[in-house]
Amino acid sequence: MTNKSLLLSVSLLSLCAGAAHAQQASGDPHDHVTEVEEIVVRALPLGRSGDDVASHVSLLSGEAFVQRRTSTLGDTLSSLPGVNSDAFGGGASRPVIRGQTSPRVKILSEGAGLIDASEVSPDHAVSGEPLLMEGVEILRGPSALLYGGGAIGGAVNLLDKKIPTRIPLNGGEGVVEYRHGSVDNEDAGVVGLTVGAGQFALRLEAVGRRSDDYRIPDSDEDRLDGSYNNTFTGTIGASWIGDKGYLGAAFTQQKSTYGLSGHSHEFASCHPHGTSLHCGGHDDHGHDDHDDHDDDHDHDHDHAAPEVRLLSQRVDLRGELRNPMQGIERIRLRAGYTDYEHKEVEEGEVLTTFSNKGYDGRLEVQHSEWNGLRGVGGVQISKTEFGAVGLESYLRPTETQSTGLFVMEEYELGGWHLESAVRKDWTETSVLNGASVDHDPLSVSASALWHFNPQWTVALSLARSQRAPTAQEMFARGVHLATNTYELGTASLNLETAKSAELTLRKAEGRLTGTVSVYSYDYDNYIFANTLDQHEDFRLIRYEQADAKFTGIDAEVTAKITPALSATVYGDYVRAKLDSGDNLPRIPAGRLGARLSGYHGPWSGELDYSHVFEQAKVADYEDKTPGYDLLSATAAYGFNIADKADAEIYVRGTNLLDEKAWSHASFLGERAPIRGRGVTAGVRVRF
């Protein structure tokens, strides 16, 4: 550690502790209140707060979200208990929830499905832009059931302001932000403006980011090749807003260019002979689409990393109508249409083009209380057309259509809050000029929350959820270089069924607050990529089914030491294995951490330490991942710059111990260490 870095680390730690000590001495909490504000979970149709639902709900918003944002969604959320990241360099990462990621984790944009190519491969970026979000909700357990089998492991709802839902005060409001990061020389700027007149409101927002390959500690290479990320996203949205609701639309375009770390064409000629791999030596290996590329790219290590050139265009439609008629409290519409494409380019040549066009629409009708019951029913329809053409065309063009009907009801009985939900889907997946497969999953859940004390609740949730296999799991056949695999789909896959149970203890008020959840997911016909053979680092996988079980715990407990100083202990652990006893691959290791947060007037600070344990329970053909320690610190100063404008300056240091570490959930493994020590500084102005 250099003297300059040591001084910075010590300064950040001192600021956090010093601010808390000064605040304790003054006895004045200033603008920071001690009570937790009730925040309504927007992904739940009945408008309840996260502390008043039986399922496990996490929310990252406000200053904490602003300071923890990174260029990718998975990395942004990875500090939350139960959430990890399958990071793929600096351009792509998806959230891993309780050991599950796509296609069992559904990404939503204010309740409508986010359509891109991220479910197909971890090197494909989630098209949502963290710097334009105002927060993220994570639903786990039965509450995610309303969004279908794609949320069997959880639902991540991205919160934004692209479609105004109210007329701004004084005719307008907005935000301007600039930030710089040292570990990857990131420069990013954000601007957002909402203006309104009469019953109309207009929203304009944009973000631009440019970053280099990020620095990695203790390595022969100073930086991770292909970990750069350059992105521009712009949105224009408008709404008509009345006394009983609103109707609005928005258009968003995102252009992104990012590198593919660890991407190699050394194994481009590999192909299966039955259940065995054969690599090289054949003139005809059964994949004519690949022949034009083999001579140029086989065993070529000296050129720069390939890159993704992404273009996503999306139209959102949202509306809400309150009390339209007797017996109906609310009608809510969420819909989106996306035209997504990205090209994987190497040395100026387009090797593979991935595309995904489709829509997702959802209509909810909430009825008034009837004999003590409050509830909502609705319909969701979606259609996607996915294609991959070129070197990695391991999946022929496919079309997936789905229709879902759902009902959720709740009932108050003394100190008990009871919930139940059911969802039925009809899904058809077809290959262009090929097979067509239908599945009809059915999911049901029931939960009970008991207020056994004014400040304490305990909740039990039970669910039986079903998921239809994806097009990739059924019809893949070909080389997938991003994950160093040759993939074989199985068209005869059946529905995947999860029987889940979760017990949650929660305290939302007082000097001690927190949530502890223990859970179990018992899967029938769990779909997984079974490794049949391996050649060096390249594997032959086939999507198969077997019974499996996931058990684990998530916990976060905060103690208010003084009105200005709080300490938090958090952790998570998940154990995942097949009923045969074999471990499942890429399951995150256990984690235990502590956080100290302090405030003094306009100053705030945070110190966060966590230990990630060794992951020794590994699948066949998988290596152990050693444990490591992470230390981060944040300091922020807020101040007024005008009558109706305020600003915040923040500095956040990450991996301050400069640990060389690898995420076990990542496909890249030791090919892509996490970021080294870095400092991000930013200024954010709101008016």
- Residue 89 and residue 661: Cα distance in Å, rounded? 13
| Residue 27 DSSP label | T
Torsional class of 396: left (φ above 0), alpha (ψ -120 to 50), beta (otherwise): beta
- Residue 519 and residue 54: Cα distance in Å, rounded? 13
pLDDT beneath 70: ranges in the chain: 1-39, 47-52, 54-55, 141-142, 220, 264, 281-303
Q: Name, in order, each residue with C-beta under 8 angstroms of 296's C-beta and a sequence gap of 6 or more.
A: none
Where do the DSSP E strands lie in 391-511? 398-413, 416-431, 436-439, 442-450, 456-467, 477-480, 485-488, 496-507
DSSP SS3 for 288: helix
Q: CA of 453: how far to CAs of 449, 456, 457, 510, in Å?
A: 12, 5, 7, 12
Phi, psi values for residue 132, rounded to 5°: -105, 0
Closest alpha carbon to 521 in 48, 56, 42, 49: 56
Residue 145 in tokens: 């059931």
Are 49 and 41 spatial neighbours (Cβ–Cβ below 8 Å)? yes
- What confidence score (pLDDT) does residue 218 get? 82
- Residue 106 and residue 129: Cα distance in Å, rounded? 16
DSSP 528-542: EEEEEEEETTEEEEE
- What confidence score (pLDDT) does residue 403 get? 97
- Residue 256 and residue 271: Cα distance in Å, rounded? 32
Are 237 and 164 spatial neighbours (Cβ–Cβ below 8 Å)? yes
Half-sphere exposure of 465 (CA within 13 A, CB side): 32
- Residue 165 and residue 639: Cα distance in Å, rounded? 28
Where do the DSSP E strands lie in 347-394? 349-370, 373-390
- Residue 256 and residue 231: Cα distance in Å, rounded? 4
- What confidence score (pLDDT) does residue 297 get? 36
- What confidence score (pLDDT) does residue 281 get? 60
- Residue 521 and residue 21: Cα distance in Å, rounded? 45
Q: CA of 253: how far to CAs of 207, 228, 506, in Å?
A: 11, 20, 41
Classify strands 436-439 and 416-431 as parallel, antiparallel or unpaired.
antiparallel
